[in-house]
Chain A
């Protein structure tokens, strides 16, 4: 094809072919015409120009197709790499997840039936009580939630005292000076003052905060809640003033806990751009290898040191982050 475009004169076979065809056509339709040569030459030029632009267009299309293919290929490779990282490590035991499950179901019941009492003057509260059939019904549901929370507290206390796993987790939840350093380091990273991110062990300071916030909330809510449930006995044994205080604390801590859950916890496990829409670890009990490398490198280091990671996974770790072993000080 390139020969056609590169040779402008009548030299090429294609040129002669086109000219012959045009001449044939002229002889067939308008044989009486004079100056046929001039017409043939003129038409020849037009036809050649058409062909040229058509070729250009075709090549452009072809280039576009090839580029598309290349992008697809790159994406496929990236996905393959990601799949390679779909290597899961255990994070939460069944016991751990069960406690979380009982707790969140209970807390949802408690928040839904509790907040309308706190904000009883709002229209939503009015609507809520009219839909549910009144405060007798919602108070009963509230007590079901409270029962669930009481059960989970008992289970948890048993877990952290009498089981090896629970004791181990509890000790890892205790705040250390490193957590303070981690907060400072993370803030520095956030503000662009440092390129290094803090490296977390099994529980980061975010998770430790969550745990102790719940601990504190449980003590206040269950303590005051029990007094308020058995209010006649409580007032007889103690005093009305104490019940008033219990009511105030129950109401205030309820709001704080709800805000902490809805804003803080939901951000960390749902709305966080890297976790959206949900971090499934609470259900599967597992964490993906690349997330483990990024979020709990020191825990991973411990697992490697304790020989709890098989050889193939160690190779994967190197694939995913070639600096990992250097960063955690294993090389």
Chain B
């Protein structure tokens, strides 16, 4: 313990000396300022809460930083409010748009995502002055930013749930119960994470019309994967479920104006979605009556309510009675209409013939 204390003391002393050196060298233009920053900010004790509000570490992992997309950038390029060392405790927030704008000359990538963010629920909250609202760094990280396709990136697909879950803790806990999370944690790249359903920079509240998970768009969003036979066949899930939904009363009613009608999520749930054979699933046989019987849907639904197939298609033999009824009606319609049309054609020919004869008779008597 004593040796450790000694060591700490020694290191602090050493850093003080180095810092003094750095200050001495402040005016030397030959020395890269970034190097001078790292003199302090790479120190272990800087991991302690140094900021005025005591919430953040100001330690920079220089190895991680060098490997990041900004690894060749100097500290001051982002922290442009720092002009002398040592600097005060209040440091301005980094403004990413300073480089990531269309006019930049250093080649920083610019996409419409910055604009999308401004209009997103996060961007609007931030500009309304909500201090909790996330900025770029809250999702993408700070010194360790990497490309999204880099597995070490915070916004790499498999890391997204944890990234969003930094703030959306309860949702993350629910998501981790879902089949989607189970698949993702198996390393399945098809499994959806937050952004696959909610969008990324353009994320909106579910109650907003433009949201990918709004009641008007949720079916379309789910069907991006669930109507894709190539993806669904891997899991033994039927991709026709989307079509059978669209053919159902729920589907047609929602297509043409009913807002409160059942969508995918109304029955299946969303963040904690589970396959029907899971006893915890909202569409498991044991829970189905309760799911249908939600107060705003079919209150008082009993077990009878769930007797029969869900997502039933009259076009498939496996559907049983309903398939045979459809087939019987199809043939009945064909045969009846063939008979009736045949009778009409014969009758018409004869009536026309009779009329012709009558006219001829008329003409004859006229001459």
Name A residues whose Cβ lies closer than 8 Å to a Cβ of B. 70-71, 74-75, 78, 117, 120, 129, 133-136, 187, 189-191, 231-232, 235-245, 247-249, 252-253, 255-256, 259-260, 263-264, 267, 272-274
Contact = CB atoms under 8 A, between A and B. Distances in A.
Contacts of B314: 248
Which 8 pairs across A and B sit closest by C-beta, in order of nearness?
A134-B257, A241-B308, A252-B329, A240-B308, A239-B307, A135-B256, A190-B346, A129-B256
A245 B304 contact: no
Contacts of A239: 304-305, 307-308
Given A78-B362, A135-B252, A189-B350, 7 more contacts: A232-B301, A235-B301, A236-B300, A236-B302, A241-B309, A248-B326, A252-B330
Contact of A249 (B252, B325, B351, B365): B325
A77 B258 CA distance: 66
A187 B340 contact: no
The main secondary structure of chain A at its interface with chain B is: helix
A39 B255 CA distance: 101
17 contacts: A74-B362, A120-B256, A134-B257, A187-B346, A232-B298, A236-B304, A241-B307, A241-B322, A244-B322, A245-B321, A245-B322, A248-B326, A249-B329, A252-B326, A256-B333, A260-B337, A273-B355
B10 interface: no
Contacts of A242: 308
Contact of A238 (B299, B301, B304, B341): B304
Interface residues of B, number: 45
B36 to A, nearest CB: 67
Contacts of A134: 256-258
Contacts of B362: 74-75, 78
B241 to A, nearest CB: 15
A77 to B, nearest CB: 9
Nearest to B257: A134
A244 B255 CA distance: 19
Contacts of A117: 252
Nearest to A78: B362
Contacts of B253: 135
A82 B312 CA distance: 61
A275 B340 CA distance: 18
